[in-house]
Every structure is written in structure tokens, then in C-alpha cells.
Structure 1
Amino acid sequence: MTAQPLDTEQSQAAPTQFRPADLRLVVVGHVDHGKSTLIGRFLHDTDSLPDGKLEEIKAISEKRGMPLEWSFVLDALQAERDQAVTIDITQIWLRTPRRDCVIIDAPGHREFLRNMVSGAASADAAVLVIDAGEGMREQSRRHAYLLNLLGLRQIVVAVNKMDLVGHDAGRFEEVRRSVEEFLAELGLTASAVVPVSARHGENLVNRSPEMPWYTGPTLLEMLDRFEPSAAPVEQPLRLPIQDVYKFDHRRILVGRVETGVLRVGDQLLFSPANRSARVATIEHWGPGQAPTEVRAGGTFGITLDEPLFVERGDIASHAENAPVLTNVFRASLFWIGRKPLAPGDSLTLKLATDRATVTVQSIDRVVDTQTLGGGDADRVRTNEVCEVTLRSREMLALDEHSTNPATGRCVLVDGFDTVAAGVINMRGYPDQRQLLTVKSTNIQEVDHLLNATTRAWRNGHHGAVIWFTGLSGAGKSTLAMRAEQRLFQRGFQTYVLDGDNVRHGLNADLGFTPDDRTENIRRVGEVASLFANAGLIVITSFISPYRADRERVRKAAGAAFHEIHIKADLAVCEQRDPKGLYRKARAGEIAEFTGISAPYEPPENPQLVVDTSRHNIEECLEQIMRYVESTIALRASGAA
């Protein structure tokens, strides 16, 4: 619910004409630092109060036996007046010499941060209010972190209650330095730090004669320097589909163009389905000729030149600048759920117009907003900030927040409750679109005259892909070579595929980015499947860190796929460090190194787990041999 700041019959109406555009400004800060007082006085000094409101506030203040309380302008809820804290988002119009603004008074109390997040998410700029006497408090730091998390870059800091510190320039400098240092750690720069006294209207609209040492802009002057979020027409096209209407023979896809420009005749790619069609018409409502172009911010309908199946939640883009397709990604979240967040929890993800079920694969870091430090944790509690890895059942179309905020922000819902808001990044994970794109056409499958059973009878065993996965240093290569030798000695047809024999030839063109690593595993998986079809036992030795990549190999190889987790924890692998790679990764010489700066997703249900930190090489080798002979050798069932 949004609190109405004024009585309904006399509330300020939205301006009928903007000059030149409206600005959405969120005001945040610690509960006792004077946000509502600042806004109330600001409204008065800019002549933005409706008729009679000043007299009403004077009467309320006199009735309560207190000086004129400017915060009562906004604290319209009786509970707020009684408790003297803002508990809901209050929105009110403000008039400046340049424009009409919407000011959002966001709650500062710790228990009401949920409302602060929803208020700040739609803002163009922010005022962070800091008490001159108290300086940066934990809540102030948390609010600054959240502004950064939500992508706000236009920030002015109002150092309030300067009258209570004797308008001391030295104290202002102390607070200014501490604020700017903290913001710099977040990668933020304040547009200005303004010393103010909200109660007395000093440096809000008019300069204060009590602070002649301050020569910077007033708060009003800073407001007029801020710019509304420009319609991002220069960014790649993103059109999330809101609905599909059916009129006569037409199917009209309706949505808001979040970024970019859409034109009649454009070839569109619809994600995550990965299907294309051309824009036939742009439909509009009302009189006049239908447009041939829609720019960011416009809501229209389109028809296509062929009947594709498109549904709510799909995202239309141009093929050359498409969103990422993935079923696993990282998110920086502000957790506002009442219950702690834990690995394995299932939640509903709201992303643009899409809704999907996601599972918390891991909690990677919980951030201390006081120090900006972080550490491992198995739970995220209410009002904590965290970095997590989320996995969905289906493919999702999304962008990294740094690339496109419109499709890089997400909300998590548990039942009917919003429990988190945050931003998306793909650090360490690949775009899976290329794996879903089939470029070859006019291909027909050839039937072999030899079937799998015939090959198995000749070899004495079924063809198989024995897929070793695990961290670097876990012992995959050593066990793969020893297993190959042992199997060969027992008469099995076998071969090892590892980085040495594929990256010097088949995959010599690939590097070690997340996308290249995914393509490396895709090619290895296809080759291994062909080996298995030929009746061989092929052993692969690859870290293969992404669960989705291994699942694709399983799908390609079918029943011939056997996943074996060569297990050793990071500390053991780093202690072994046979090639010195961990040392280089810790020194920053190797980017995207699995386990250090890139993720490793262990198998959920492997056919076999071989723990090399608890067993020696011979014991591990025997486990592998027993598994192969019990599942792959024909003679295990008495067939040969």
C-alpha cells in the first residue's frame, strides 16, 4: 500500500504539463536523521504545499504541545504520527524552477526496509540524509549499499541538523570525508554533499547565513541538475511480452519496449524459445495512422509475418544483440524475507514479465554493510545483503545488470510475499544460447549396419562414457590414466580424452572463458558419445564445472553416460596444487579459475563418488574398476 500524504479532496494532483520532464527522487537515511522533516520544509519553501496544509500542520503541532513539526506533512498515517517514524512509502509532488518532481519518502527504520527497496527501485536519483552529530550509522550504510545495488548513480548527501552542531565547518568536513570514503568503496561518487538544517530551512532552497563557509550548491540547485532516466534508445532492443491478444485472424503481441528501438520489418528473436520472425505491423490504440517505429518507453502491440508461438514472459530482441540464455546465474540480493534464506530453498523469480521457479544452489557471500566485508554463511537473515547462485528448471532470458538494468533486475517471491530484490550477474557462467542454436540443415541420420548389441558382443562390454568431474588437483587425470591401463590389461577397448589431447587439436581454437569452457565440454561430449556408439569405453578427465554442460553430455550419450565425481575439497586440492595453478590464481595471474574466482557445481546424483582425500590411489582405482565391471562388462551378467 502507498500512503496518501494529503487528504484526498485536496491532495496535489499530478502536473498536467511537465517542464521539461518529471524526476523521481527517493529520500533515504537513518530513522532519526530527519528525512520527513527535510521533505516537509522543502515542500513549504518551494511553495509546493496545497492551500491550508501549513495551517493544518501548525494546528496539529500546537495540539501536541510541540514546535512546528514539518514531518507531519508526510506522516499521513495515524500510526506514523503516534510513533514519529515513517512506515510506508509516501509520494508527493514537488515544484522546482525547472521541473515537477515526484519525491519518495522511503522508510528508514530497520523493520521497514522492504518498503524502502520498493521505493528506491523506481527512482532516478536519491538524497541520502545523514545526521551531522551522529554521522554514518549502520542504517545509513545499508541504505547507501542498497542504492548502489539498485543502480542509482545520481546521489546527493544532505548532512542535516547542522544547527545542533553549531554550524561547525570542521564537523561537516569530518562527516563529508567519512561519507565520501564509504561511497567510494561502493564505486559511488556523491554529486554533492550539502550541509543543511531542515527544521530551519538552511541550504534547502535558500542559502544559510549561518554557514558562510559553504559555497557549494543548495539542495534545490542539485535537484535541478539531476536528469531523469533517459529512455535508453541506444541500448539493444528488449521487448518483454506482456500479453497476447487475438483479434479476428491476428495475434497481437503486447508489451513495453524497455530499451532500444523497434521498427516494422525488423527481424526479431524471441527468447528463450530461440525462434525468429519479422515485424509485420505495429498496432496502436486510438485515432491516427499506425506508427512504423517504437522507441524505448512506448507500449504497443505488434504482429509477425509468421505464426510463432509466443507467450507472456518471452523477450523480443534483435538477433545480433540478444539477451543471455541460461538456467543458472548469480544475483546480489537484499533479503527481506521473514524466514532465513538457505541453500535448496525454492522461490518464484519475477524478471521483467516472466515468472519462473528458482532454487538457491549456493549462498556465496553474506555482505557486512558496515565494513563491506563478506564471508561464508549457510543462512541469510532478514535485512542482510548476500550474493547467491540461483538455478531454474527452464531456460531464462536475462541480462547482466551492468549491461542492461531493465532486464538485469529481479524480485524473489515466496508465496504471496516479496522476500528479496536484487541485480543479476553472470560472473563465471556462460551464455548457453549457442548450445541451443542449430545451424546445420538438410541433414539426415544414417543407419549403421552394426548395432550396439553386436559391438558389445564383439568387445565383451558395452560402450560407455565414463565422465570424471572434479576440481583441479582432485586426481582425475591420474585415475583416468590408471583406469585406462587397468581396463586395457583386462581386455577392454578403452581410451582417455583429456585437456592434453583435445586442446592441441579439436579444441585448439578455444580459450578459458566461461563460454569457451562450455563449448569445450560440448565438443568433448559429442566426441565421447561417438566413441561410446563405436563400442569403446571412453574415459574423460575434465573439471567440467557446470552442471548444465554435464547434463547435455548425458543427454547426448543417453544410457551410456556414467558420471563419476572425483571428490576432494578445495583446501586439499589447493594443498596438492600439482601444477602450481592455485598459487597463480590466488596471485591474480589466472582469471576465472575454478574454485577460486569461478564456480564449480558438484554433481547432484553421480553414479559413483570417489573421495581421493580419504582413500589412496589404489583404493580409488579399485572402486572405479568394480563399478565398470559391474555395470558395463557383459560377463558381469553371465552374458559372455
Structure 2
Amino acid sequence: MSSTIAPIAPSVAAPPGLQRMNIVIVGHVDHGKSTVIGRLLADTHSLPEGKLEQVRAQCELNSKPFEYAFLLDALKDEQAQGITIDAARVFFQSRLRHYLILDAPGHIEFLKNMITGAARAEAALLVIDAQEGVQENSRRHGYMVSLLGIRQLAVVINKMDLVGWDRGVYDRIVREYGAFLEQVGIRPSSFIPVSARGGDNIADRSPHLDWYQGPTVLNALDAFRSEPAPTERAFRMPVQDVYKFTKQGDDRRIVSGTIDSGSVSVGDSVIFYPSGKKSRVKTIEAFNRPVVNRAEAGWAVGFTLQEQVYIPRGEMATLESQTRPQVTTRLRVSLFWLGKEPMVKRKEYLLKLGTARVTARLEEVLRVMDASTLDATDQSKVIKRHDVAECVLKLDRAIACDLAEDVAATSRFVIVDDFEIRGGGIVREALSDRQASVRDRVLLRNYKWEPSIIQPEHRAEKYNQKAALILVTGESEADRKGVAKALEEKLFSDGKVVYFLGIGNVLYGVDADIERKQENRLEHMRRLAEVANLMLDAGIILVVAAAELTQDDLEVIKTAVEPEWIETVWAGDTVTTDLAYDLHLPGGALPEAVDRLKAHLQDKGIIFRPW
């Protein structure tokens, strides 16, 4: 099952002259979503030749009544379990358009899959059973569609044959559900009475519904407005990986990913966020395609750079000439929660947005709403199952994203806990954080940075090590300097390029112009980080000793230095700050502590183990 919200790449090209549109179909379980789609496939002659006859024959062979829902065989478990267990992709076309319809599940347990599907859609069909009427999930799904920013919706009132084509039943559902949708900011284009099993008002008008003068389902689909092509929006490509080649003199470094929106061309100046590093596109590389000079939304593609810069997974590629994304560690979001256990403060969760993966905590609950009743409260301290919340998330490092109203694809995220998707939502606002002033300086630094022609991996091969910042901290009485200097001596004797930097060297050197006051602590940390960044760029292992570093101090340093280059060590028995350290060295014999620290660096791949 898919676990990230991302735009779908075109799998089937639209026929010449036809528009293309992605639609999601949602609704409560057993209200007939799959039957509606199956009927659309059959009535528009979009099935593969012989498919309808094949399914009919299979049903007859198994002594099972034929259902149009069985035509959706993209998911084999659907027929076995009687429910849609994933967001299946179905293609068909009308005279006007080529459609991709996502059949999303109705069961609450599978709601996260519906969200994955709905996040790719421009419009929605929501199916309601005329007999059962508006259900709790009908309201939840309507709210989720609204939350995901889908404003085009048609409501399909199915199984009208089972209520004798009663207009009173239809009118009651229109009043009840129409009022609900109005509360969540959606005005449906139409409420369509149908019998999907009989084909009434699906592609052709029904002889049983002469009192209804509105569109058929197919007419309603064709009446939806196509959104501007993603290629017309700002260029956004979350970086999936950087591929390096070594054989036959091939020294390419290909920055790869799937383009969410916009386009990029050879020669374009690109900036990567949140780092702010800048380069220019040298070539565009695409698998199994002829040489191209331009790539656009939906392409899984890569490009090489004229000036080589270090770009890790999770960065977002943008064009210098276009609007920059938001960069922060604090987000105000609209979030829906699906976990059985409530979302609580102080607990660590994993936030996935694009290709970025970052630890997140619930900082503040601003407002909580029950998606099925729209009852709201601003008194809640936790977010319970099926709640929709406006809240603030605090991230342990900055990410790049967009606001939902700007670029929807790069505003959507999911929350993972214990390897399962527990919730998701959209970014409403990028809030200021303590590192904002530092980040602005770092972005300018990286924008103006003159990279060396020697690549970091070449230095690593030469020195038999990776550049790293080892922060050795601890309470005032702990022997931090002893540990740090002993580590320097040990690594130097092993042939490593290593340097010890005491915090005093910085305080009375590059920091000599600022007073040692608490209000200047952020600037002290920023300057320490800038000194470290220069030495790390040279491929050095830098060992720094400083007393009682806090998590805030570390976050400032991580703003200026690549977070994956930093290792934190707490020396001493008692931990006196909130620092989330990587290794704890209780008081004891110095040689044993240094051996543990060296083994830790080997395990992390910073110093390479001998063959």
C-alpha cells in the first residue's frame, strides 16, 4: 500500500485532442462505488475486448450472480473479501475526456488509502445508498475531500430502484447532505439519482426518473473543469536520491526524483531547499527516453549539475526564477488522525512530506473537530481517532514545503507511528522558529558558496573517512575535553585527518566582538557552526568540546551544518539538559570511553573499518 501522498505520473497517454482528468470516487462501504465504476466502464465501451463476457462466464462457472463491481479486477482481494482494499486506478474515456478514476475504500480502516488516492484527484464522485441514506463515513469522506482541497464534487445517490425511484428519498438526502457539504465549503455540482446495477443515469438517462432533469454521471464528469496543467505551476521536485557512476570514466552525479509540478530545462538555475544550495542543470537524464532538454510534471527523471554540490535525499529542487518554498521547523497544519491511540504531545512521530523524513512532535492543539458531526472545540489537548485538528507540529530539523493554496502536492504529508500511517494532512502556514535568522544567513551563504572541484566522496576515499562534527558535551564537572582530546589523539594515530576545537577557541576568537550573555548564545552557536562547516567541507573530522549543550543549541548548529554530519556525545554520569544525544559515555576510564566512541564512529560509517 502506498504510504506517501504524491501526484500520480501519467500511466496512459490521453488520446490526441482529448483532455485528461483524475477523479476519485468515495463513499460508505457497500454503497456501490465499484458498481458505478464498473457500469461506467461497460457503458462507455472502455473495457478490454472480451472482458465483460469473461467476467460473466466466471461468475456463471462459480454459481455467483454477476456484479459490475467485479470488473474492477485491479485488486484481486476485492472479490475475495467483498470490499475495496486499496485505491485502484481505472481508465476510461468519454467523447470529451480521458479519465483516470480512483476507486477509494469506504471502510474506516482503509481510509488512509482513500486519502492517498484522493490526493491525486481534481474532482470527486461521492456515492450514497438511497436505502441507507447519509452515513457517518459519508460525512467523513466529504470532509476529507474538502480538506484535501478538492472543490469539484458530484453526489451519486445510488440504488434508487430499491426505494421505488422515490423522489422524496432523493430530496431528503439532497437536503441533509447538501447542508453538511455547505458547512465544509463544498457546493456539489449535482445530486444524481442512479441505479448503477441497472445503468440508470450512469451514461444514459433513466426511463424511471422522469422527475429528474439533471445530468447523468457521465455528463457530470464532463462538466467538471480541468485544473491548470501541473507544468504551468512552480517547479518542484523532491530529491529521491543522487546516483553516482564510476565505471568507464563515467563521473556523472544524477539528482533524481519525480517532478510534482512545473518543468525544468537544461541551463536552468536550480536551488535546493531547505539547504539553499544552488547550481545549474547541465543535462537531463531519463530512463528509456531519447535525449531531452526539458522535463515536466509527472516525469520520473534525473539531471546533472554544472557545479557539484552535496544534495541529500529529502531536499526539494526549485527554480531560482520562481517562488521559493517555505522552510521551517514549525508548521501549522490541518491534520486528520486515524490512529487507534490519540496523538499526544511530547511523543515522537515520523512526518513524511515528499521525500523528506523528519521527526515531528505535537507542539500545540489549536482546534479539534469531529469530521462526521463538525462539532469543534479549542480545549482539547490530544487528537483522537477520526478527529480533524488544526495544530502546530515541531520538527527536529527544517524541511521545505508549500502551503496548500500554493502548490498542493508539496503541502501534503502523512504521520507515521510504529511503521503505520496514523494520520495526514496539509500545511496551512509555515511558522517562525528560533532558527529563522540563522537559516536566512545560511541560505545566503549557500547561495553564494563557491564549491571546490574536489568532491566530498573523493576526499573521503583519500582520507579513509567521512567528514563529521563530533560534539562532546556534558555537565560542567565532566571531563569533556579529556574525552575529545583523547579521541583526537587516537584517530590521528590511526592516520585520520582530525582536529580538536575547544569552545573557548571560538569564544575568544571569532566571537571576541560579542559579549558572553545568554541572549547572545544563538549567535555563539551560529558562529561555531560556521567554523565547523568550513572544516567539514575540507573533509576533516572535527571534535568539539562544549559544556551542557541543549537541544536548542543543537538545532541552531544543524541549521548551518548538514544534520547527518553531526554526532552528539554526552560525557558524564548525569544528563543535565534536554539534548537528544547519539551516545552516552558515563564517567569511567578514559581509554574505554574513547574505544566506545571510536566503535560508534565506525558503526556510523564515519571512519572506515579495516578490511
Q: Residues 414 and 41 from structure 1, CA distance in 2 versus in 1: closer, same or farther, beyond 3 angstroms?
A: same
Supply the distance in 2 between the matched residues of 1:16 and 1:296 (Cα, whole angstroms). 15
Question: What is the match of residue 393 of structure 1?
Answer: 396
Higher Rg: 1
Give yes or no for the alignment of 1:294 onto 2:292: no
Q: CA RMSD in A?
A: 3.9
Match of 1:128 among 126, 129, 137: 126
Instruction: Tell me the amino acid that sits aligned with residue 348 of structure 2.
Output: S
Question: What is the match of residue 363 of structure 1?
Answer: 365
Q: Residues 379 and 60 from structure 1, CA distance in 2 versus in 1: closer, same or farther, beyond 3 angstroms?
A: farther
Q: Residues 115 and 551 from structure 1, CA distance in 2 versus in 1: closer, same or farther, beyond 3 angstroms?
A: farther
Please show how residues 227-306 of structure 1 align to structure 2 within 5 Å.
Answer: 229-247=227-245, 248-284=250-286, 289-291=291-293, 293-306=294-307
- The answer on whether the counterparts of 1:323 and 1:397 sit within 8 Å (CA) in structure 2 is yes
SS of alignment partner, residue 313 of structure 2: coil
SS of alignment partner, residue 179 of structure 2: helix
Match of 2:68 among 67, 70, 75: 70
1:76 is displaced (CA, Å) by 7.8
Supply the distance in 2 between the matched residues of 1:78 and 1:429 (Cα, whole angstroms). 48
Question: What is the match of residue 161 of structure 1?
Answer: 159
SS of alignment partner, residue 313 of structure 1: coil
Supply the distance in 2 between the matched residues of 1:112 and 1:152 (Cα, whole angstroms). 20
SS of alignment partner, residue 219 of structure 2: helix
Supply the distance in 2 between the matched residues of 1:322 and 1:355 (Cα, whole angstroms). 20
Q: Residues 63 and 422 from structure 1, CA distance in 2 versus in 1: closer, same or farther, beyond 3 angstroms?
A: same
- The answer on whether the counterparts of 2:371 and 2:386 sit within 8 Å (CA) in structure 1 is no
Question: What is the match of residue 422 of structure 2?
Answer: 419
Instruction: Tell me the amino acid that sits aligned with residue 408 of structure 2.
Output: P
Supply the distance in 2 between the matched residues of 1:295 and 1:83 (Cα, whole angstroms). 39
Match of 1:216 among 189, 211, 214: 214
Instruction: Tell me the amino acid that sits aligned with residue 139 of structure 1.
Output: N
SS of alignment partner, residue 35 of structure 2: helix
Supply the distance in 1 between the matched residues of 2:238 and 2:154 (Cα, whole angstroms). 33
Question: What is the match of residue 312 of structure 1?
Answer: 313
Instruction: Tell me the amino acid that sits aligned with residue 211 of structure 1.
Output: L
Identity %: 40
Question: What is the match of residue 44 of structure 1?
Answer: 42
- The answer on whether the counterparts of 1:324 and 1:431 sit within 8 Å (CA) in structure 2 is no
User: C-alpha offsets along residues 51-93 of structure 1, whole Å, 9 cap, x if unaligned?
Assistant: 5544555566668888643333337878654664333333333
Question: What is the match of residue 589 of structure 1?
Answer: none
1:144 is displaced (CA, Å) by 0.7
Supply the distance in 2 between the matched residues of 1:232 and 1:278 (Cα, whole angstroms). 22
- The answer on whether the counterparts of 2:24 and 2:125 sit within 8 Å (CA) in structure 1 is yes
Q: Residues 69 and 288 from structure 1, CA distance in 2 versus in 1: closer, same or farther, beyond 3 angstroms?
A: closer
Match of 2:376 among 361, 374, 377: 374
Q: Residues 105 and 377 from structure 1, CA distance in 2 versus in 1: closer, same or farther, beyond 3 angstroms?
A: same
- The answer on whether the counterparts of 2:335 and 2:391 sit within 8 Å (CA) in structure 1 is yes
Instruction: Tell me the amino acid that sits aligned with residue 311 of structure 1.
Output: P
Supply the distance in 2 between the matched residues of 1:138 and 1:553 (Cα, whole angstroms). 53
SS of alignment partner, residue 364 of structure 1: strand
Between Structure 1 and Structure 2, how many residues are aligned?
457
Supply the distance in 2 between the matched residues of 1:75 and 1:254 (Cα, whole angstroms). 33
Supply the distance in 2 between the matched residues of 1:307 and 1:15 (Cα, whole angstroms). 35
1:274 is displaced (CA, Å) by 1.9
Supply the distance in 2 between the matched residues of 1:391 and 1:95 (Cα, whole angstroms). 45
Please show how residues 72-91 of structure 1 align to structure 2 within 5 Å.
Answer: 72-74=70-72, 80-81=78-79, 84-91=82-89
Supply the distance in 2 between the matched residues of 1:311 and 1:134 (Cα, whole angstroms). 51
Instruction: Tell me the amino acid that sits aligned with residue 350 of structure 1.
Output: K
Decide which moves more: 185-194 or 329-338.
329-338
1:40 is displaced (CA, Å) by 2.5
SS of alignment partner, residue 177 of structure 2: helix
Decide which moves more: 329-338 or 407-416.
329-338
Supply the distance in 2 between the matched residues of 1:110 and 1:252 (Cα, whole angstroms). 41
- The answer on whether the counterparts of 2:335 and 2:390 sit within 8 Å (CA) in structure 1 is yes
Supply the distance in 2 between the matched residues of 1:54 and 1:295 (Cα, whole angstroms). 37
Q: Residues 431 and 139 from structure 1, CA distance in 2 versus in 1: closer, same or farther, beyond 3 angstroms?
A: farther
Question: What is the match of residue 146 of structure 2?
Answer: 148
Q: Residues 308 and 87 from structure 1, CA distance in 2 versus in 1: closer, same or farther, beyond 3 angstroms?
A: closer
- The answer on whether the counterparts of 1:131 and 1:159 sit within 8 Å (CA) in structure 2 is yes
SS of alignment partner, residue 230 of structure 2: coil
1:139 is displaced (CA, Å) by 0.6
1:112 is displaced (CA, Å) by 2.3
Decide which moves more: 382-391 or 73-82.
73-82
User: C-alpha offsets along residues 167-190 of structure 1, whole Å, 9 cap, x if unaligned?
Assistant: 233432332233222222211221
Supply the distance in 1 between the matched residues of 2:14 and 2:327 (Cα, whole angstroms). 42
Which has the higher relative contact order, 1 or 2, with Cα contacts under 8 A spaced 6 or more apart? Answer: 2
Instruction: Tell me the amino acid that sits aligned with residue 269 of structure 1.
Output: I
Question: What is the match of residue 225 of structure 1?
Answer: 223
Instruction: Tell me the amino acid that sits aligned with residue 191 of structure 1.
Output: S
Q: Residues 302 and 65 from structure 1, CA distance in 2 versus in 1: closer, same or farther, beyond 3 angstroms?
A: closer
Q: Residues 278 and 119 from structure 1, CA distance in 2 versus in 1: closer, same or farther, beyond 3 angstroms?
A: closer
Query: Which segments of 5 or more consecutive residues in structure 2 lack a partner in the other structure?
Result: 3-10, 449-510, 529-545, 551-575, 579-611
1:218 is displaced (CA, Å) by 0.9
Supply the distance in 2 between the matched residues of 1:107 and 1:305 (Cα, whole angstroms). 46
SS of alignment partner, residue 321 of structure 1: coil
Q: What is the TM-score with the length of structure 1 in the denominator?
A: 0.63
Question: What is the match of residue 486 of structure 1?
Answer: none
Supply the distance in 2 between the matched residues of 1:181 and 1:158 (Cα, whole angstroms). 16
Query: Which segments of 5 or more consecutive residues in structure 1 lack a partner in the other structure?
Result: 3-12, 443-529, 541-549, 564-603, 607-640
Please show how residues 192-211 of structure 1 align to structure 2 within 5 Å.
Answer: 192-211=190-209
Instruction: Tell me the amino acid that sits aligned with residue 128 of structure 2.
Output: I
SS of alignment partner, residue 233 of structure 1: helix
Decide which moves more: 424-433 or 310-319.
424-433
Question: What is the match of residue 329 of structure 2?
Answer: 327
1:95 is displaced (CA, Å) by 3.5
- The answer on whether the counterparts of 2:34 and 2:103 sit within 8 Å (CA) in structure 1 is yes
- The answer on whether the counterparts of 2:230 and 2:262 sit within 8 Å (CA) in structure 1 is yes
1:156 is displaced (CA, Å) by 1.3
Q: Residues 245 and 73 from structure 1, CA distance in 2 versus in 1: closer, same or farther, beyond 3 angstroms?
A: closer
Question: What is the match of residue 458 of structure 1?
Answer: none
- The answer on whether the counterparts of 1:324 and 1:432 sit within 8 Å (CA) in structure 2 is no
Instruction: Tell me the amino acid that sits aligned with residue 71 of structure 2.
Output: V
Supply the distance in 2 between the matched residues of 1:60 and 1:287 (Cα, whole angstroms). 40
- The answer on whether the counterparts of 1:324 and 1:399 sit within 8 Å (CA) in structure 2 is yes
Q: Residues 195 and 434 from structure 1, CA distance in 2 versus in 1: closer, same or farther, beyond 3 angstroms?
A: farther
Supply the distance in 2 between the matched residues of 1:78 and 1:262 (Cα, whole angstroms). 39
Instruction: Tell me the amino acid that sits aligned with residue 417 of structure 1.
Output: E
Supply the distance in 2 between the matched residues of 1:228 and 1:220 (Cα, whole angstroms). 15
Question: What is the match of residue 116 of structure 2?
Answer: 118
Q: Residues 214 and 143 from structure 1, CA distance in 2 versus in 1: closer, same or farther, beyond 3 angstroms?
A: same
Supply the distance in 1 between the matched residues of 2:268 and 2:49 (Cα, whole angstroms). 52
Q: What is the TM-score with the length of structure 2 in the denominator?
A: 0.65
Supply the distance in 2 between the matched residues of 1:551 and 1:405 (Cα, whole angstroms). 38
User: C-alpha offsets along residues 567-622 of structure 1, whole Å, 9 cap, x if unaligned?
Assistant: xxxxxxxxxxxxxxxxxxxxxxxxxxxxxxxxxxxxx989xxxxxxxxxxxxxxxx
Decide which moves more: 96-105 or 198-207.
96-105
Question: What is the match of residue 102 of structure 1?
Answer: 100
User: C-alpha offsets along residues 17-70 of structure 1, whole Å, 9 cap, x if unaligned?
Assistant: 566254332211111322222222332222234455445555666688886433
Please show how residues 502-581 of structure 1 align to structure 2 within 5 Å.
Answer: 552=522, 555=525
Instruction: Tell me the amino acid that sits aligned with residue 332 of structure 2.
Output: R
Instruction: Tell me the amino acid that sits aligned with residue 94 of structure 2.
Output: T
Supply the distance in 2 between the matched residues of 1:429 and 1:53 (Cα, whole angstroms). 56
